[in-house]
Amino acid sequence: MSLFGNDKVKCKSCGSMVWKGSKITNGLCSDCYARYKRQTPTPTQQNNKPLKQPKPPKSNAAPPISPKPAPQPILRFPIGNLVFAIWVADGYYYPATITGNSGDYVNVRFISDNTDDLIQSNHIVNLPDAFKNMNFESDWKNGGLYYSCEVKARDDMNCFVRYTDGVNEQIHFSQLRACFKTSAKIAKMFERKK
């Protein structure tokens, strides 16, 4: 305290006494305030983002409803595509054409006998995936006996296959059937020894 009463004010930062007439901002002397300003970034300097605008107070009113168009389903199996579909009677996959989609089920027409069937979509394999992940058998000379083969080439509905004994044959696409490679390995384990 001075002789004239309360002439000085204490700086909140450094504790120095400053004359009341000198500039005190936010309780800081001019030196401390200048140092504070240099260290505090402006709103646009903080992460190069402007300060967020305050949120309006919450109201009990329901938010406005904006009509959104219904999402269009993406067809995993477009109509007309060639696929391999399971024939439930024997568990093999045979060439088929997609004729329709209805939710989790797909309508197919098997190429070999023009039979229509409704199959779960998880039992249908696109051609690229089939040629990558499946083992094939071919109906040798279209006589009803299937033998393991490798598809060497395919041109629309014609295939060139090589059997495991080295014999080559040109066949119609409908003469193929397939099973997943893991299934073939399991089947081979249980194959009867000669």
pLDDT digits (tens, 9 = 90+) for 16-33: 777 666 666 667 777 776
pLDDT of residue 3: 46
> Domain extents for the chain?
8-39, 82-124, 130-189
Nearest Cα to Cα of residue 151 among 141, 161, 142, 143:
161
* Total count of residues recorded for the chain: 194
AA identity, residue 137: E
Neighbours of 161 (CB within 10 A): 23
pTM of the model: 0.56
Residue 46 has pLDDT above 70, yes or no: no
Which CATH number does the domain 82-124 belong to among 2.30.30.140, 3.30.420.40, 3.40.50.2300, 3.40.50.300? Answer: 2.30.30.140
CB 119 within 8 A of CB 85: yes
What digits encode the pLDDT tens for the residues 103-142?
Answer: 789 999 999 899 999 999 889 998 888 888 889 999 988 8
CATH fold of 130-189: SH3 type barrels. (2.30.30)
SS3 2: strand
pLDDT of residue 72: 52
180 token code pair: 């997943």
